[in-house]
A and B are shown apart, each in its own frame.
Chain A
């Protein structure tokens, strides 16, 4: 059992020699919390899950964004963060891209929802996106749900257990972006159930045996139907 404790900024989470994640600073041999949240020390090192906060882009994150603008060189994508993502046209059309011969609107228009990966995220520039790889690109059906980005790990669950449970039980396809944007697609009634359970997970994210509650919720509905 991993020990979890509540921390506030400045608290010493633990001492020693560990790997450490975001929202933690190492001073000497002390690991200091930078946010309000739940800290845990396990085999993977010291981790801090903040209770709230905006989405901060990290390279390799898989996000779901909305195209809000198109310029000659690519798409500006709202990734539910304080930064707008930028998807360069050359990442989509390839090396031979030229603004005079390629029409960007044929790929994505303003308002389109796309799944993308954060390619790079530096402080001096807007985060760059890429759609290379399986499962990325335009999402053209589904219901959009926004949850707090800090609750995304709970929604996915250990090795995707929670999200698999939800999509198996409801028969919906559920795409989760690490930026807190979720797209659910499937038959209308099933989508409604999936959306409700996703909102329940967000609300009850701290409770123990969340998996059991979700299982019961989805099982219960099935029995009643």
Chain B
């Protein structure tokens, strides 16, 4: 029995998709700039410092935040640690297999991590206790529960919401020793980065591709923007190239769509 690696889109379905896109429509009835409905719930895991569950259409992810203390990296002795990790569960899709993380899962975690890090969402300098010795370590672990395309954005929203709603134990430094207190404080979150992924199918760019559109896309680009509309991070995927016009168009669309989604995240994490 051969292993199924990827979702193959039927040729006749792709033809329909391209015909509709030529007139600015999509198979599921959305416009090219429209994302699928987002639901965002925080505090879904009681034992975690912070958590969030996000559905983006039928894609579903669950994020959990764990804060502890540890030693900093040698090159950043005065900064706390932030590690974002992703796991695509075998039950999430017929194409996901158990075992070490797949290439897709690694890219997913890297792209989301980069968006959070480069936007300077979390002020890592505030997470330092004793420079070079002890800092706060923030681990964000994400499980993908269901795959229906665009995991980048779903995961990014879950991580941002989980970090925004997280409460960590406050540590104090006494006689060069770190001591835990009973006080719970929020993680020093400064900004709200929003990631928006676009796929190029034929000559059209579409926001938030679903699994079918991802199966038919030639190229995808994920752009993360911050509150002021600055582009903080981006990642291009798949084999086909991208024109400079499309890069600019994608950036503009990300900023525009991102503004709207940022409101949703603020509303859910109030």
Contacts and interface: CB of A to CB of B under 8 A. Distances in A.
B238 interface: no
A83 B1 contact: yes
B11 interface: yes
B9 to A, nearest CB: 6
Interface pairs A-B: 4 shortest CB-CB: A111-B11, A68-B8, A112-B11, A76-B2
A111 B15 CA distance: 11
Interface of B: 1-2, 4, 8-14, 16
Interface in A138-181: 139-144
A141 B4 contact: no
Interface of A: 66-69, 76, 78, 83-84, 109-113, 126, 139-144
B2 A69 contact: yes
A144 B12 CA distance: 9
Contacts of A67: 8
A139 B11 CA distance: 10
Which of B12, B13, B16 has the most CB atoms of chain A within a 10 A radius of its CB?
B12
A141 B1 contact: no
A144 B11 contact: no
A76 B2 CA distance: 8
Given A66-B8, A68-B8, A78-B8, A111 B1 contact: no
A189 to B, nearest CB: 15
Given A76-B2, A83-B1, A84-B2, A142 B12 contact: yes
A84 to B, nearest CB: 6
A68 B4 CA distance: 8
Nearest to B6: A68
A111 B10 contact: yes
Given A83-B1, A112-B10, A140-B12, 20 more contacts: A66-B8, A66-B10, A67-B8, A68-B4, A69-B2, A76-B2, A78-B4, A78-B8, A84-B4, A109-B11, A110-B8, A111-B8, A111-B9, A111-B11, A113-B11, A140-B11, A143-B16, A144-B10, A144-B12, A144-B13
Contacts of B8: 66-68, 78, 110-111
